[in-house]
Amino acid sequence: MVTRVQRFRRPTTARLASHACASLPRARKTQMTKQLPPVLAAGALLWRHAENDAIEVAMVHRPRYDDWSLPKGKLEAGEHLLACAAREILEETGVVAHFGPLLGEITYDVEDQRKTVTYWAARAVEFHKPTASADEIGLVQWSSPSAARALLTHDHDREILNSFLEIGTGTIPIVLLRHAKAVKRSEWDGDDDDDRPLDSKGEIQARALGNILRAFGSLEIHSSDSNRCQQTASVIAREWGTSVITESTLSEYSYKRNSAGALDRTKELLQLERPLVICSHRPVLPHLVGAMLEGTLFETPNSGLEPAAAWVVHARGGVVIAIDYLPAPE
């Protein structure tokens, strides 16, 4: 079972009175003759700066369908949607990308199956030779957004393009991550709850997070000083060849003693305007997100995070532009 990513509504002049959970763009549904397991896929609106600093977006031509579409591909067994999107972009276009905000989820029918594709914005940072076969991807075309709108075959791809243009470029991701699964409090016989470690599933989740979060690019890792957060962050740091910055004010214990200090530190981290991971605790994270959302029209997500799940805040100039929910690895 795959838990879906979720995009929270970004307030615009047309949406000032409604800014809770977003209804993601969806294609028109058609009648299916029989029910088969759904197909899950992921991709991206891949973009780059042209020589004149204008924006260009990537499309792929698929000989089998003779259409122009956004790059995407099917989820492999046990794969996370974000990791799938990054892999498919690399295979189909040869581009290593840094991912930004979630753009939408498109659902349509292919023969006798329902297919759902999740798209992110993704900035091209490295260019290599595509590995997809010529039968699968015949050509990669970079065009202006207006030219892409005319060339794209499917209306649902144009919806994703519109969502990208609404958000714009230049956002910075801040991943507010709950630590991976820890030994239960009821099963922990230590004296200090801060020492409670990850369990075996949590260790697996932490290793998976290194690959998943890599899609956002080079992230500075900040972590509560509790053992379960430090373990989660340290595994990710080893995967990336970097180190962990310990934030004692962001622990569950410290928050209870000095919530103002934790919230002030969170606002400071937002104003750094650097890509970050902040690893903390289920009771604390909603308050940290709320601190980042102060002064915006976003509502603070009111649901708790499962272990190894995250909210991803996308900011521009120290102001939150979008916020997404990122499910935990399986």
**Length of the chain (residues):** 330
* Rg (alpha carbons) of the chain, rounded to whole number: 20
- What are the residues whose beta carbons fall under 8 Å from the beta carbon of 238, sequence distance 6 or more? 210
pLDDT value for 330: 84
Tokens 């949406």 belong to residue: 15
Tell me: the pLDDT tens digits for 46-67? 999 998 889 999 999 999 999 9
**For residue 82, what pLDDT band results from cuts at 50, 70 and 90?**
very high
How far apart are alpha carbons 142 and 45 in whole angstroms?
11
Whether residue 9 is predicted with pLDDT greater than 90 in this model: the reply is no
- What are the residues whose beta carbons fall under 8 Å from the beta carbon of 187, sequence distance 6 or more? none
**For residue 17, what pLDDT band results from cuts at 50, 70 and 90?**
very low
Q: Is the dihedral of CA 210, 212, 218, 220 positive or negative?
A: negative
**For residue 6, what pLDDT band results from cuts at 50, 70 and 90?**
low
Whether residue 224 is predicted with pLDDT greater than 80 in this model: the reply is yes
Average pLDDT over the chain, rounded to an integer: 90
**For residue 29, what pLDDT band results from cuts at 50, 70 and 90?**
very low
Report whether 74 contacts 39 (CB < 8 A).
yes
Q: Which domains does the chain have, with CATH numbers?
A: 6-167 (3.90.79.10), 172-326 (3.40.50.1240)
- What are the residues whose beta carbons fall under 8 Å from the beta carbon of 222, sequence distance 6 or more? 233, 244, 245, 246, 247, 250, 269, 276, 277, 278, 279
pLDDT value for 320: 98
Helix (H, G, I), strand (E, B) or coil at 164: helix
pLDDT value for 37: 82
DSSP letter string over 89-127?
A: HHHHH-EEEEEEEEEEEEEEEETTEEEEEEEEEEEEEEE
How far apart are alpha carbons 169 and 204 in whole angstroms?
34
Tell me: the pLDDT tens digits for 98-155? 999 999 999 988 888 899 999 999 999 999 999 999 999 999 999 999 999 999 999 9
- What are the residues whose beta carbons fall under 8 Å from the beta carbon of 14, sequence distance 6 or more? none
